[in-house]
Structure 1
Amino acid sequence: MSTESTTADAMWLDLLDWRRQVAALYAHVREERERDPVTAHGLWQAGRNALFRNHPQSPLLADARAAFDSLPCWPYDPALAFTAPVEPLPPERLTIPSSTGQDMPLVRFGRVSLPVGTLDVYWIDVYGGGVFLPFRDATSGRESYGGGRYLLDTAKSADLGSTVAGDLVLDFNFAFHPSCFYDPRWSCPLAPPQNVLGAGVRAGERAG
């Protein structure tokens, strides 16, 4: 087996391990959040910091990883933690641009109405799929990534769950930057115009 083949195999297995660790982290966060959201937020931050610092699939560039301490986050704000039912909409297929210019196929299937504004809810329309809820707000391009942040990305196990009644848990304190914010080699779908909030959402991950 060539060295190149061995390296490629390790890369895919590293990616598998990354996704397993993210899934385990969110399972722990969901369980703890029901008891104590602030503690759950601390677990989430600690888990992401450890992955970014130590994992071979960290989105951080090598020089940034050497100096890495923690991902900047706003303090937990309970006023920005919500649950909401998904208002069904007629399924609409569309594409949105990614950070590298590629199109990402989505199906818009619903909408959530929150105190901070209204957001469309999407299904990522590729193999495996997943519920996807990106957003931009008044901090985007200044205090956070201009392409937006993600509230849910269940294809990557970033999922805070649902209530017994079926409402989505939408806690902006767990909003996170896509990988392309840290390294432009990653291709990340950008928040579409219909998911732009007028107010600044100062919760979750922020720019440095």
Structure 2
Amino acid sequence: MSVELELADWRRRVAELYAEVRHADDPAAGHRRWRAGRDALFREHPQSPLPADDPLRASGLPCAPYDAGLRFVLPLIPASDPDARLELDAGDDAGTNLVPVGRVELPDPVGGSLEVWSLQQYGGGLFLPLRDGSSGRVSDGFSSYGGGRYLLDTAKGADLGGDDGHLVVDLNFAYHPSCRYDSRWLCPLAPAGNTVAATVRAGEQMPTA
């Protein structure tokens, strides 16, 4: 199979996995399905960002237990700066262009505001990245990638759903971008405005031992 078809298959499987999550009987069951599916892709798929000898292929990706208190259905409210523009490096003299479409306010125990971005490349898509108190350091025994994690990336099928004017934002589904696992991948990272001070002890994490 060509690399292009492998990549198309990867994205198709990710989209199918999130569709299963959205239709799960309860969010915790959906999270278990997401973890199992993501581990299988990273272990077996030819487009896995894990090097062939990476022990995470056998152990699975480190992830915190599901916390029902970190799932929210949030209204999309006006962006802090609707005229803002971001161009994030994507390598080979290319960039990923984003414009804000709104923001979500995370309730306690997290708190803080996150901008929701729209990808301006072909096909578009919503992009919701996160940096928190664990990004790039160990905080209360928990650590995540310094470049942040993704909550939503609908262009890649990472979509937890919502309704008219609302988004499902479940911090348990925070996941690391591919560049966390292999430097040959170039990923748009969370901008400074998508930072919360609290440590989000949910979702994928870095090994701390």
Task: Tell me if both proteins adopt one fold, taking TM over 0.5 as the criterion.
Answer: yes
- The CA deviation string for residues 56-95 of structure 1, in whole angstroms up to 9 with x for no partner, is 0001011116853211100101111111111133353222
Tell me, which stretches of 5 or more residues in structure 1 are unaligned?
Answer: 1-8
The corresponding residue for 2:122 is 127
Partner of 2:140: none
Matched residues in 2 for 1:119 and 1:77: separation? 20
1:13 is matched with: 5
Q: Is 1:27 paired with 2:22?
A: no
Following the alignment from structure 1 to structure 2, what is the Cα–Cα distance between the partners of residues 111 and 190? 17
Tell me the secondary structure at the aligned position of residue 83 of structure 1. Answer: strand
Corresponding residue for residue 67 of structure 2: 77
Equivalents in 2 of 1:41, 1:166: separation in Å?
A: 24
Q: Distance in 1 between matches of 2:92 and 2:193?
A: 20
User: Bigger shift: 99-108 or 150-159?
Assistant: 99-108
Partner SS, residue 2 of structure 2: helix
Q: Relative to 1, partners in 2 of residues 1:67 and 1:44: Cα closer, same or farther, differing over 3 Å? A: closer
1:41 corresponds to 2:31: yes
Query: Per-residue CA shift, 1:143-192, capped at 9, x if unaligned?
Result: 110000000000100000003x4410000001100000001101101111
Between structures 1 and 2, the one with greater helix share = 1
- Note closer, same or farther for the CA distance 1:44–1:101 as it changes in structure 2 (3 Å cut): farther
CA gap of 1:76–1:99, structure 2 versus 1, over 3 A, is: farther
Helix, strand or coil at the partner of 2:162 = coil
Q: Residue 96 of structure 1 aligns with which residue?
A: 88
Following superposition, the deviation at residue 96 of structure 1 comes to 3.4
Whether contact under 8 Å (2:42, 2:57) holds in the other structure is: no
Matched, 1:59 2:49: yes
Cα deviation per residue 1:91-128 (whole Å; 9 max; x = unaligned)? Answer: 53222346999642101121111112100010011111
Question: What secondary structure does 2:50 align onto?
Answer: coil
RMSD of the TM alignment (CA)? 1.9
Check conservation: 2:39, 2:57, Cα contact below 8 A: no
Contact 1:99 1:180 survives alignment (8 Å) = no
Q: Figure out how many residues of one structure are paired with residues of the other and give that number.
A: 197
Provide the residue aligned with 1:174 in structure 2: 173
